[in-house]
Amino acid sequence: MIWVRTASSSIKSFHKSSLVRMHIKCRGSFYPRTNEKVTRTEVPDDKVEWSASFHDYAPRQYTAPHILAGPEYADPDISCPEFKPLWNAVDGNINRCSHEESYNIVDGYPRNMHGRTGIAGRGALGRWGPNHAADPIVTRWKIYDNEVAHGETGKPILQFVCIQRRDSGEWAIPGGMVDPGERVSTTLMREFQEEALNCLEMTHEQKKQTEDKLKNFFQGGEEVYRGYVDDPRNTDNAWMETVAYNFHESSQDGILYSLQLHAGDDAQAVKWQDISSQLNLYASHRDFIQKVAEKHNAHW
Ligand code: RP5
């Protein structure tokens, strides 16, 4: 396992998180969710960084068929003459800036600034370069009659709204992609409602009521992470970045103690999950949750 210090002193916006595990989940032997078992080139720990010489590194180019089919959210192929992206910039309503630093363009392709992943192309990601997401970490204290403290640490136990992803079956924060031109604050609330409350199946009236109930609560969030995600879909030319916010309910009379959770959209299940170091979550989500536990001085 390698640890890469991700916060560069020159990056002001990439704050709070100094250590995040990098390129563990996006260096597995097979690319996720491919029927034909697409393999990644093996990249040893000491060859992840581009500065490490790896002369015979020739990863397979792979872009998933559903991306090549050209859905609305995906870029065209880089070879397409009409495709003239503005790298490291806000390109129309598409944000092609990294939250961390400028990425290099090598032979016409954006290069993953966290190093080699063993596969080139876009894989299952729609955009070349950064693909922006937002992650709402919705927490409350575990309560029966009173707050429940952990038997070993004596610290109160925090719970967060956790969904099970339909694609991989892994448990995760109910995050999702920022739509072109969308504000991150909108994505945070929209994704929570879609995946943890199943608002896509609500009537217009029910949707409006839920939104009204949640609006105030979602105004009180605090940013806990902004930057790269060690997502299993990352490639040498396309990667996930996120902004994670914590929305915490501190009052037992607050909305989160009466909210009915219903899985929807990309989620096949949803639950209140006790937070502890035993958690095994999708991509870098465990690291984000640990930060939230520390912030609240909760059991970990
Ligand atoms: C992760 O992928 C992000 O942290 C976010 O939770 C998620 C967004 O992708 P989809 O859930 O929309 O596939 O890297």
Range 217-233 average pLDDT: 95
| Cα 223-225-231 angle, rounded to 5 deg | 140
How many domains is the chain partitioned into structurally? 1
Please state, in angstroms and rounded to a whole number, the distance separating the CA atoms of residues 148 and 163.
Answer: 23
Query: Could you tell me what percent of the chain has a pLDDT over 90?
Result: 74
Domain that holds residue 133: 2-295
Confidence of residue 151 (pLDDT cuts 50, 70, 90): confident
For ligand 1, the distance from its centroid to the CA atom of residue 215, given in whole angstroms, is 23
What per-residue confidence (pLDDT) applies to 33?
81
| In-domain check, residue 300 | no
pLDDT at 58: 96
Average confidence (pLDDT) over 260-271: 94
pLDDT for residue 145: 64
Give 86's contacts (C-beta < 8 A, 6+ positions apart): 96
Q: Atom 8 (ligand 1): residue with closest C-alpha? A: 176
Res. 7 pLDDT band, cuts 50 70 90? very low
pLDDT of residue 5: 33
Strand partners, 228: 241
- CATH number of the structural domain spanning residue 78: 3.90.79.10
Asked whether residue 200 is assigned to any structural domain, the reply reads yes
Residue 197 Cβ inside 6 Å of ligand 1? The answer reads no
Report the SS3 class of residue 264: coil
Least-confidence region, from 201-210, 234-243, 266-275: 201-210
Whether 70 shows a pLDDT value over 50: the answer reads yes
Q: Tell me the pairing of strands 158-165 and 171-172.
A: antiparallel
- Å from CA of 178 to ligand 1 middle: 10
CA of 152 to the centre of ligand 1 (A): 33
Tell me if 143 is assigned to some domain: yes
Q: Please list, in sequence order, all residues whose beta carbon lies within 8 angstroms of the beta carbon of residue 6, skipping any fewer than 6 positions away.
A: 14, 17, 18, 19, 20, 22, 100, 114, 227, 228
Closest atom of ligand 1 to CA, residue 244: 4
158 and 294 in contact (C-beta within 8 Å)?
no
Please give the average per-residue pLDDT across 248-267, as a whole number.
88
Phi, psi of 72 (to 5 degrees): -55, -35
Pocket test for ligand 1, best of 282, 285, 289 (most atoms within 8 A of CB): 282
Q: Give the Cβ contact number of residue 199 at 10 Å.
A: 20
CA of 192 to the centre of ligand 1 (A): 12
Are 172 and 282 a contacting pair, CB within 8 Å? yes
Quick check: is 249 in a domain? Answer: yes
Provide the percentage of residues in the chain whose pLDDT is more than 70: 92
The DSSP H or E segment spanning 171 is strand 171-172
The alpha carbon of 176 and the centre of ligand 1 are apart by a number of angstroms equal to 5
Cross-strand pairs, 135: 244
Q: Convert the pLDDT of each residue in 21-50 to its tens digit.
A: 578 899 978 899 877 789 999 999 999 999
Of 151 and 257, the one with more pLDDT: 257
Segment 197-214 mean pLDDT: 89
Q: What is the mean pLDDT of residues 194-202?
A: 91
* Cα distance between residue 38 and residue 62, in whole Å: 8
Q: Outline where the chain has alpha helix (H).
A: 65-68, 184-196, 204-219, 285-295
Q: Is the pLDDT of residue 152 over 90?
A: no
Q: What integer pLDDT is reported at residue 153 of this predicted model?
A: 83
